[in-house]
């Protein structure tokens, strides 16, 4: 478990560093890539940690780190917002872990885990494809089961209008609209004070000072309050 998580975290960190340097010309160490890459590796190794060898755990982790960044890139291209990168970690890492079990499961590990009840000779790399076939069928069943259960639920939420946040709330940011963060600190290059002002008026709060009492905050925050007044 430790080997896979560490390998995945390191690969995600340094591969992202290389990609950012190629794209922007400036190397950037992104700690969130290392953290979530590590989680992706842990998700991948969870199902097979008891039946794979140490070298296989490292390979599983390396591929997990690559898949994590690949899924993040795909989500960005298709404009799917995943702020905490849960899909690359759990879907990407978890699905790869299911397949990896059918590839790297060792005969020794299976014998130790199942004892005399073991009917598989190992994974595909040990010349037995039957376990890989079982894993693929299991993965397809999980995807189908989840889709059948959750898709109608999401349609119902969308019909009620609560499937996603209001568009103005998304522009202002959920820290402001849901968690009460100071609107005076929210004005950035990504959206203007008019966006925040529109949100405050919609919520019936025309004065930032009265609603949030930020006069004791930082100087730049207080300047934002003056602008809203």
**Helix axis angle, 93-104 relative to 31-45, nearest 10°?**
40
- Residue 67 belongs to what H/E stretch? helix 54-77
Reduced to 3 states (helix: H, G, I; strand: E, B; else coil), residue 219 is: helix
pLDDT band per the 50, 70, 90 thresholds, residue 191: low
pLDDT band per the 50, 70, 90 thresholds, residue 192: low
pLDDT of residue 98: 96
| β-sheet bridge partners, residue 188 | 191
| Largest Cα span, the chain | 77
Taking the whole predicted model, whether its pTM rises above 0.85 is answered as no
User: Tens of pLDDT along 120-140?
Assistant: 788 899 988 899 999 999 999
User: Tens of pLDDT along 154-173?
Assistant: 999 999 988 887 777 777 77
Task: Please enumerate in sequence order all residues whose Cβ is within 8 A of that of 185, keeping only pairs 6 or more positions apart, or say none.
Answer: 214, 217, 218, 220, 221, 224
Count of CB atoms situated within 10 Å of the CB of 46: 16
Q: At residue 209, does pLDDT exceed 60?
A: no
The more confident residue out of 171 and 67 is 67
């Amino acid at each position: 478990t430790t080997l896979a998580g560490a390998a995945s975290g390191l690969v995600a960190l340094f591969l992202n560093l290389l990609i950012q340097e190629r794209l922007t010309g400036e190397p950037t160490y992104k700690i969130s890539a290392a953290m979530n890459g590590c989680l992706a590796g842990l998700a991948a190794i969870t199902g097979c940690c008891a039946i794979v060898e140490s070298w296989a755990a490292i390979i599983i982790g390396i591929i997990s780190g690559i898949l994590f960044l690949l899924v993040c890139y795909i989500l960005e291209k298709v404009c799917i917002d995943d702020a905490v990168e849960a899909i690359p970690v759990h879907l990407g890492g978890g699905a790869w872990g299911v397949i990896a079990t059918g590839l790297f499961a060792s005969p020794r590990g299976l014998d130790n885990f199942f004892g005399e009840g073991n009917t598989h000779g190992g994974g595909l790399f040990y010349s037995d494809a039957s376990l890989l076939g079982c894993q693929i069928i299991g993965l397809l069943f999980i995807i189908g089961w989840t889709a059948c259960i959750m898709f109608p639920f999401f349609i119902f939420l969308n019909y009620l209008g609560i499937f996603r946040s209001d568009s103005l709330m998304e522009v202002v940011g959920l820290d402001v609209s849901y968690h009460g963060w100071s609107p005076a600190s929210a004005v950035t290059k990504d959206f203007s004070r008019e966006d925040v002002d529109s949100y405050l008026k919609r919520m019936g709060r025309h004065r930032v000072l009265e609603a949030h009492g930020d006069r004791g905050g930082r100087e730049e925050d207080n300047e934002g309050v003056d602008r809203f007044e």
